[in-house]
Structure 1
Amino acid sequence: MEISIVTKEDLQQLKNELLEEIKTLLEKENRTQKEWLRSSEVRTLLNISAGTLQTLRINGSLSYTKVGGTLYYSYKDIQKLLSSDKK
């Protein structure tokens, strides 16, 4: 039977490798943005109220699609809205 000794340096190296793998996984997850968002997701993303979102719909600033009783917003349209506000 072979005995292995684990040193502090070995544990530190393992920790660093695990942290790098977690960072890589989180970056991949953040890059995969959903194409369509529900109202609650849009409100959270933009940090706006339901009334403000309704105003954006009514005045045509943000287009939407209704499927059943649920409103969906294109992520690309949200990006366009944000970039037009900067100008």
Structure 2
Amino acid sequence: MDTITKSDLNILRNQIISDIGNLLDNKLANNNQSEEEFGWMRSKSIRKKLNISAGTLQNLRITGKIRFKKILGSYYYNSEDLMHLFDDGEI
């Protein structure tokens, strides 16, 4: 019988967290339409939709051009603000 160490438990914990994150990302990727209807979109969705870098999105957040919420380490952005950016040509 093998002995389980703290290191083994940390590896297992990191793997479980990673797997849950991947499941959530896949679920959100499959539900992008409902995400937009809900009114808030994840960073990854917005960056993909606008073809912008994470730094550009961060600048939009910092300058207040797009509203955001931070939930459990992930940023969510208001889709209405995103549409106004297109209307105003601010990007």
Residue 43 (str. 1) matches residue 51 (str. 2)? no
Q: Which has the larger radius of gyration?
A: 1
* CA apart distance, 1:56: 0.6
* CA apart distance, 1:42: 0.4
Query: What are the superposed Cα offsets for residues 54-85 of structure 1, whole Å, 9 maximum, x if unpaired?
Result: 11111111111111211101111100111111
Equivalenced residue count is 58
Structure 1: runs of 5+ lacking an equivalent: 1-30
User: After TM superposition, which residue ranges in structure 1, 4 or more long, deviate above 3 angstroms?
Assistant: 31-34
What is the distance in 2 between the residues matched to 1:59 and 1:83? 18
What is the TM-score of this pair, normalised by structure 1? 0.57
What is the TM-score of this pair, normalised by structure 2? 0.55
Q: Give % identity.
A: 41
Residue 83 (str. 1) matches residue 78 (str. 2)? no
Structure 2: runs of 5+ lacking an equivalent: 1-32
**Residue in structure 2 matching 1:69, options 58, 66, 73:** 73
Higher relative contact order (CA 8 A, sep 6+): 1
Aligned partner letter, 1:80: H
Aligned partner letter, 1:82: F
